[in-house]
Chain A
Amino acid sequence: MSARVTLAVAGRVLRQVRRDHRTLAMLLVVPCVLMSLLWWMFDGLPGAMFDRFGPALLAMFPFIVMFLVTSVTTLRERSSGTLERLLAMPMGKLDFLLGYALAFGLLAALQSALAVAVSVGLLGLDVNGPVWLLGVVAVVDAVLGTALGLLVSAFATTEFQAVQFMPAFVLPQILLCGLFVPRDAMPDVLGAVSDLLPLSYAVDAMQELVGRADQGEVWRSVGVVAGFAVVSLALGAATLRRRTP
C-alpha cells in the first residue's frame, strides 16, 4: 500500500467528477431539492412529519448516489482496460479501493454539508445532537455505498446491468430501514432481515441524532455501518484480480 498511489487515484476520480458538470450538479443539488420537496409536501400537515422522514432521507442520499456512481465508474475501469493496466503497475488493490473510498467520502462530505445546511438552516429540521455528527454519518454511509458499488461492479458486464443492481440491492434496504414502519414494529422475520442490512443502521444513526441524541447510540450505529463498509471493501478487493481468465 502506498499513500502516493492512493492519493493519485482519489485525485483522479475527483478530477473526473469535476469535469462532468452534470453529475456534479446532480450530486450536490438534487439532495437539497429533494429535502425541500419533502418539507413542502409535509408543510401544513399535523405532526412533525419532516422531522421523522428527513433524517432517513439524509442517510439515503450518500448511500444511493455513491453506490450508483461507483458501480458505473468501476465497471468502466474494468471494461475499458484501465483496471488491467493499473494492476500491471505498482498499484495495490487497497490503493485502488481506498482511493475511490477517499474521493467519494469527500464528495459525500460536501454533499451532506449542503443538504444538512439546507435542511437545518432553511427548512428548520430539528437536530438535538451535534450537527457535525450528521456529516460523519453521511460520510461513513457514502463509503459504504462506494464499497458496495465496487463489489457489485464485479458482477455486471454492462453499465445497464450495473444500474439494475440498484433496485436489487438498494430498494429492499430502503423498504426495511425503518422509514415506513419502525423496525421494532415489523413482522419478526422482516425485523431480523432489517437487522442485517447496513442502511438500517445509517438511518438509526440519523434518527437518533434528530431525536433523543444519545451520542453513544449514534456512534454504535456508525460503527456497524463502518463494519459493513470494511467487509464490503474486503470482498471488493477479492474481486480485483491481477490475473483474469
Chain B
Amino acid sequence: MSAPVVAVRDLVVVRGGVEVLPGISLDVAPGVTGLLGPSGCGKTTLMRALVGAQRVRSGTVEVLGEPAGSAGLRTRVGYVTQAASVYDDLTVAENLAFFARVLGVDRASAEEAVAAVGLHDTREKVVGRLSGGQRSRVSLAVALLGSPDLLVLDEPTVGLDPVLRRDLWALFHRIADGGAAVLVSSHVMDEAERCDRLLLMREGRIIADGAPEEIRRSTGARDVEEAFLRLVEGPGDAA
C-alpha cells in the first residue's frame, strides 16, 4: 500500500482539563475508513486535529505529507463538522456558490456537488427550511467542492433514512475509487460493514484497526458490534 494519507503519532489533546486523546497513533490509507466508537470517545476531537482546528498538546499529525492545518492543505482536505455548518438563511445554491468562491472552485463543480448528494431539486430552497438530513447533505456537498484528496466526515449519516444512508455510502466509495481517502466517523456499529477499513476507538485510544472481516475473525465475533464489546469486556484478546 502507498504512503498513508494521514499519519498520527503520539497525539495528546487536552480539552477542558481532561486528556481526551492520551497519546493516540494511527494511519489512514486511501479507501473508506470508518472511525467507530461510543459517544464521547474522542472521534470529533481527532477529526478536528486532522483538519488543524484542534489545539493539541503534543505529538504529530501529518496529512498528505504536510503537518495538519498547513496552508497548502486547505484546498485539499474537505471537512464536514458534526453539526451542519452551512448558512441557514441562504439557499442551497447560494451556500455552495459562496464556499466555491472561497475555495476558488468554478460553478460547475458546485452544481456537481449538489447533484452528488441528491439535492438537485431543492437547490433553490433556503437551508433553514430543509429537513435535518437534507441540511447535513448540504454540509456534505460543501466538503465535496474541489474534489479534495482527503474527506473528513464527522457522522455524516446520522439521522438519515436507510435508503439515503445506502446512497451516501455508495457515494463515499465512488469518491474513494477516484483515489481520495475518506474518513467517516460513526457511533453506530452497523455502518462498520460498509467500510474498507475500521478504526475502533474507545476513551481516546484505538483498540482495533483492520478490515471489518479481519476484526470479526480475530475476536471470533459475528459482527463488529459484538467484536467491539469483546474487545472492551472480553478476555483480554485486544490487539
Interface residues of A (CB under 8 A from B): 4-5, 7-9, 11-12, 15-16, 19-20, 80-82, 84-91, 242-245
**B87 is an interface residue with CB less than 8 A from chain A:** yes
Q: Which of B53, B83, B90 is within 8 Å of A12, CB to CB? A: B90
**B101 is an interface residue with CB less than 8 A from chain A:** yes
Q: List 5 A-B contacts (CB under 8 A).
A: A82-B87, A84-B85, A90-B75, A91-B102, A242-B53
**B21 is an interface residue with CB less than 8 A from chain A:** no
Instruction: Please report whether the interface of chain B is mostly helix, strand, loop or mixed according to DSSP.
Output: loop
A12: chain B residues at CB < 8 Å are: 87, 90, 94, 98
How many contacts between A and B, using CB within 8 angstroms? 79
Interface string of B98-133 (1 = CB under 8 A from A): 110111100000000000000000000010000000
Q: How far is the CB of A8 from chain B (nearest CB, A)?
A: 4
**B55 is an interface residue with CB less than 8 A from chain A:** yes
**B134 is an interface residue with CB less than 8 A from chain A:** no
Given contacts A12-B98, A81-B85, A90-B103, contact A244 B90 (CB under 8 A): no
Question: Is B90's CB under 8 angstroms from A80's CB?
Answer: no
Q: Which of A8, A19, A20, A85 is within 8 Å of B79, CB to CB? A: A85
Question: Is B90's CB under 8 angstroms from A245's CB?
Answer: no
Question: Is B142's CB under 8 angstroms from A85's CB?
Answer: yes
Given contacts A85-B79, A85-B81, A85-B142, contact A245 B55 (CB under 8 A): yes
Extra 20 A-B pairs, beta carbons < 8 Å, given A8-B102, A88-B69: A4-B101, A4-B104, A8-B98, A12-B98, A19-B90, A20-B89, A80-B85, A80-B88, A81-B83, A82-B86, A88-B53, A89-B103, A90-B74, A90-B102, A91-B102, A242-B52, A243-B54, A244-B53, A245-B15, A245-B16
Interface residues of B (CB under 8 A from A): 15-16, 51-56, 69, 71, 74-75, 77, 79, 81, 83-90, 94, 98-99, 101-104, 126, 142
The 3 residue pairs across chains A and B that have the minimum distance between CB atoms: A81-B85, A8-B101, A81-B81
Question: Is B51's CB under 8 angstroms from A88's CB?
Answer: yes
B86: chain A residues at CB < 8 Å are: 82
Most buried by A among B51, B88, B90, B98: B98
B103: chain A residues at CB < 8 Å are: 89-90
In the complex, what residue of chain B is closest to A96 when comparing beta carbons?
Answer: B102
Given contacts A88-B74, A243-B52, A243-B55, contact A16 B89 (CB under 8 A): yes
